[in-house]
Amino acid sequence: MNARELFKSAKAAMGRAYAPYSRFPVGAALRTETGAVHAGCNIENASYPEGWCAETTALGHMIMAGGGKVAEIAVVAEKMPKIMPCGGCRQRLSEFVTADAKLHLCDLDGVVETVPFSAVFPRAFGLEANR
């Protein structure tokens, strides 16, 4: 799967977003090292902001499918080109990404910029910080 196809999965997920409070639909798609793709959308509720992000949903799908290591991530938002995962999602993603994982920042037409995930979250903490 190439970056364009990963973007299409993220955009399709964004179309399923449940965002009646923020009116800010977001979609994300993750590709694992084995090529499996897991997509997710943001899901809000009346106890706003107690919903969850598109990246979190995609990670949940990945874990439920058996897990893996994330090699690529595509994120798209209806109202913000080149949206970046929030801090919480950067931490969540950091626990599953490969050392050379790529983050594709998209607009509604496709991938606009690709950056190494390590560049957007260089000092994540993990299990080793708890030992």
d(CA 85, CA 97): 14
d(CA 97, CA 109): 25
20: preceding bond cis by omega (within 30 degrees): no
Q: Which of 33, 44, 50, 55 is catalytic?
A: 55
Are 106 and 84 in contact by the 8 Å Cβ rule? The answer is no
Are 111 and 4 in contact by the 8 Å Cβ rule? The answer is yes
| Residue 78 appears among annotated catalytic residues | no
Q: Give me the active site residues, please.
A: 55
